[in-house]
Structure 1
């Protein structure tokens, strides 16, 4: 009798369990093997199981930008408070200059208001894990306008909100575009959003509502603009607590704090010869009453954090405030501050590669917390192009060339 002749087939339940633990990119590949696999791996049951698994192991998404090149990595967020190091997984690379307002993140996708992929700049939505993207139609807007990406978790739909002329009642305040609905086109929104002077921050999408900080017209004061992604309705929330940030909002970040809108800023102090770091966090405890609560934290002493440039990346689902070093280097750290325990966990992140770790080639790092893969968001249908197929013009000879995507 030949060995293995009567091997029992692997139970379907076990196969589904195995596939639910794979990266979304691998699942997408297996879907193409046969109609049976496509049907199994696209079923609502498997999609829900995969999302649950992915939500239980959120990742830190890191984008390293250097001279117009964007390299995307991810790393597991710590599952316990004793982890000291983590290794990066490299995903893909985009080559293209961007505007002064970098990008907007929502549910695994990134929106660049202006990205030069080849000859011309255009708004671009991309999946930094798979390298798929979609160039959006250009639109008229004033030069200081921003663009934001929002996600409706019920309808599983992405929408782009772009400022047009928010300060003028006689012109379009905003343009809105819905992804994945056939022909892409911008729709004007004139009257539903009250006029404001300018936006002051990058935004954040929480449970289908997009928030960003803005400055009012006339008497300068801070307000939060709320955009419901599904209904496309706007409203204002008073945010006078941020009025002292009007002159410089570069270090202020809006965060999802346990499902509530929050804002975090920080400042340096001095304790003897040591530099200290103080975090200020405002949390919108009651949306209807527009009540904010302020928390102030002095971070525990940490030799690396006290001497490096860092930015706030966000707040994890377990409530840790994440601080990330601003530039790639050989010893690169991400810090997780637990406000309840007043503890600071340092995690060394390895794997940027020799080029980015070299002193003369440092890249600016942008971090996004709680990155979760959702198979119900089918980027193969919504994002029609692949970065691997982009042709670039050589700056020396002006001839088409394929870029080298090894880092």
Structure 2
């Protein structure tokens, strides 16, 4: 009996020794170890923090966060909030698919239940959400609560309060660094005092953690029923773009990462286009494969224009016109783009248009399911919400 117990004990000791040696070999080859670990889903990576101190330190390492983000960028998906409510439910969806995977339900403690939260941007695995923030004691001033959220790590970061805005709901846009620079900036438009129709912009920089006023602006983002707080925008090629006016000739406001503003005109319909063609209220800015694009909805057709560089100058090029699958009473709530798919969400259905095959793919849903829908390209990351500097 003693001999059997001794043999069993020896086998168990050998097995533990082999396992320990194998784990040590893997951990010792840091490059291979990080390369393997960084390819896993963020949820799995986070669960491995308790394996050992080496694993914990490796996962918290800035180089690892960069490696994971680089790999994750090669397999982006959509992040969607199909319907706003007291709580915000976020889902991930693969391009061209209607299958949703629940990511997170957001209900921050420091928010009034009556203040609906909206998702307005997605970048580097982080999202930006905004909601009303009452300025106590004065009905003439408005403010917003602005949060940067990592849906995968469940971290929520509330930005400091901005300058109260006089009789004007503030509008925002988010710019973010490219390459190794993971800073982000939130541009916030507001009316500074008792002088209506005079607007300024202040910028929150994740590297400093404070707001900085950068002065007056040439124009402001336009109001849209489907765009809460005038904050519908896209970030393309180092610049934020907002629709500013649809009145002919129409304007787009842009600002670069350094805070330099410019205004460009909307596409001009001419030549063979019909008189009823032109800019409509159903106009949406998107980032199509790295180019600023505008999608213009007509009763029977959809036009897609691309802001392209020709030699040293930019100009609008008509990409294509496609037959609209939407009826007159089927209101388009949101348009976004990822890879070769352009996603359209209406009150009644979810549609993808494949720009390569020129085919529609439609998914039906309940009429009341979608309301003030938001949808953006998304990639998983481990980045902290107050990230700054270079990795």
TM-score by length of structure 1 reads: 0.69
The whole-number CA distance in structure 2 between the counterparts of 1:29 and 1:180 is 29
In the TM superposition, 1:7-406 aligns within 5 A as 7=19, 8-10=21-23, 11-12=26-27, 15-28=33-46, 30-31=48-49, 35-43=53-61, 45-78=63-96, 86-94=99-107, 96-98=113-115, 102-107=118-123, 108-115=125-132, 122-127=144-149, 129=151, 130-141=154-165, 142-154=167-179, 155-165=181-191, 173-182=200-209, 184=210, 186-191=211-216, 193=217, 195-196=218-219, 199=222, 202-215=232-245, 221-229=249-257, 231-239=258-266, 241=268, 249=281, 251-269=282-300, 278-286=301-309, 289-299=313-323, 309-317=331-339, 319-326=340-347, 334-346=350-362, 362-364=369-371, 366-375=373-382, 377-379=383-385
| Cα 1:313/1:20, change in 2 over 3 Å | farther
Shift of 1:77: 2.6
Shift of 1:292: 0.2
The whole-number CA distance in structure 1 between the counterparts of 2:168 and 2:283 is 22
Q: Give the superposed CA RMSD.
A: 4.0
The whole-number CA distance in structure 2 between the counterparts of 1:190 and 1:121 is 18
Contact 1:91–1:128, Cα closer than 8 Å, also in 2: no
**2:226 corresponds to:** none
The whole-number CA distance in structure 1 between the counterparts of 2:150 and 2:59 is 22
Shift of 1:75: 2.2
Deviation per residue, 1:74-93 (Å, 9 max, x gap): 12335xxxxx6524223122
Return 5+ residue gaps in structure 2 as ranges: 1-9, 137-141, 224-229, 270-275
Matched residue SS, 2:68: helix
| Cα 1:17/1:86, change in 2 over 3 Å | farther
* Count of aligned residue pairs for this structure pair: 340
Contact 1:315–1:369, Cα closer than 8 Å, also in 2: yes
Matched residue SS, 1:65: coil
TM-score by length of structure 2 reads: 0.71
**2:7 corresponds to:** none
The whole-number CA distance in structure 2 between the counterparts of 1:70 and 1:34 is 35
**1:387 corresponds to:** none
Deviation per residue, 1:97-141 (Å, 9 max, x gap): 457x94420304333443469x99742213161251314314222
Return 5+ residue gaps in structure 1 as ranges: 79-83, 270-277, 328-332, 350-356, 383-407
